[in-house]
Amino acid sequence: MGRYRLDVGYDGTAYGGWQVQPNARTIQGELERALGTITGETVKVHCSGRTDAGVHARGQVAHFDLGLGRPCHELLRGINAILDPDIRALRVLPAPADFHARRSAAGKEYRYFIWNAPVMQPVLRLYRAHVRRPLDAAAMGAAAARLEGHHDFSSFAANAMRPVESAVRNLFKLRVSKRGPEITISARGEGFLYKMVRSLAGFLIRVGEGELAPEFADELLASRKRTAVVPTAQPQGLFLWRVWYV
């Protein structure tokens, strides 16, 4: 049996997220369908981290096993010939038998994009969260700096009925940058809880609107409790940007 690494990019607008589910098209389902068609095997595709409905990926990483080895270039060409153009296999590489897209990952980077203007650019409506009220990017950056580091992020996790051993995560970087009407939140860490990045973005947006002070980040971390103070930001602004391995 051969193991393969698969790098994937996708526009998540038309999909119910990564994970296979009834009554919805999903990224995992489409990839497994394509691989099954070209190999004649039942193929399970494992990803570095599941994305929700409407969330995009520039650098998702997955792995799969085949009973009969195939040349990587043939797999790449065959997968993309079957997939709709809003999903693309970017690379197929041979992988060691112990490579696991999620467990072997050393870290991930997500980017959340906000269009901060009274009117949304139509071509960006599926790829930016629209916030009409002026945002104070400096205040958002000050709040973000307080969230960097090794913390219990229970206050920034949604309950998806997925038990986790610990809500402690190491957030290497959380930065806010502004260029014209576009504000970008970059989050880099060893791993993320369910909807954690969208929750961080939702909190930073409230800070930017002046509803919360940057210092309130300390109180949220200390509380270890999710409340309505932290909203979950819109999905379309979020991109899984990069996954890296040792």
Give 164's Cβ-side CA count (13 Å radius). 15
Nearest CA to 199 out of 181, 182, 174, 178 is that of 174
Which regions of 11-157 does DSSP assign to beta strands (E)? 46-47, 56-66, 87-95, 105-116, 129-131, 149-152
**Phi/psi of residue 236, nearest 5 degrees:** -70, -15
In which element (H, E) is residue 176 found? strand 168-179
The DSSP symbol for 13 reads: G
> What pLDDT does residue 1 have?
76
Tokens describing residue 34 = 């394509």
Domain 106-245 adopts which CATH fold?
Alpha-Beta Plaits (3.30.70)
Instruction: Decide: 110 and 69 in contact? Cβ < 8 Å.
Output: no
Q: How far apart are CA 218 and CA 240, in angstroms?
A: 26
CA 10 to each of CA 28, 94, 135, 150, 157: distance values in angstroms, whole numbers, following the listed order? 11, 22, 29, 30, 24
Active-site residue, selected from the candidate residues 11, 52, 86, 98: 52
**Residues listed for the chain:** 246
CA 60 to each of CA 42, 46, 52, 63: distance values in angstroms, whole numbers, following the listed order? 21, 11, 13, 10
Q: How far apart are CA 106 and CA 49, in angstroms?
A: 12
Does domain 2-95 sit in CATH 3.30.70.580?
Answer: yes
> What pLDDT does residue 162 have?
62
> What pLDDT does residue 238 have?
98
pLDDT in tens, the chain (246 residues): 799 999 999 999 999 999 999 999 999 999 999 999 999 999 999 999 999 999 999 999 999 999 998 999 999 999 999 999 999 999 999 999 999 999 999 999 999 999 999 999 999 999 999 999 999 999 999 999 999 999 999 999 987 556 677 999 999 999 999 999 999 999 999 999 999 999 999 999 999 999 999 999 999 999 999 999 999 999 999 999 999 998
**Domain boundaries along the sequence of the chain:** 2-95, 106-245
pTM of the entire predicted model: 0.95
CA 125 to each of CA 113, 119, 120, 180, 204: distance values in angstroms, whole numbers, following the listed order? 11, 10, 7, 16, 20
> What pLDDT does residue 163 have?
64
C-alpha torsion 141→168→242→186, nearest 10: -10
Residue 11 annotated to the active site: no
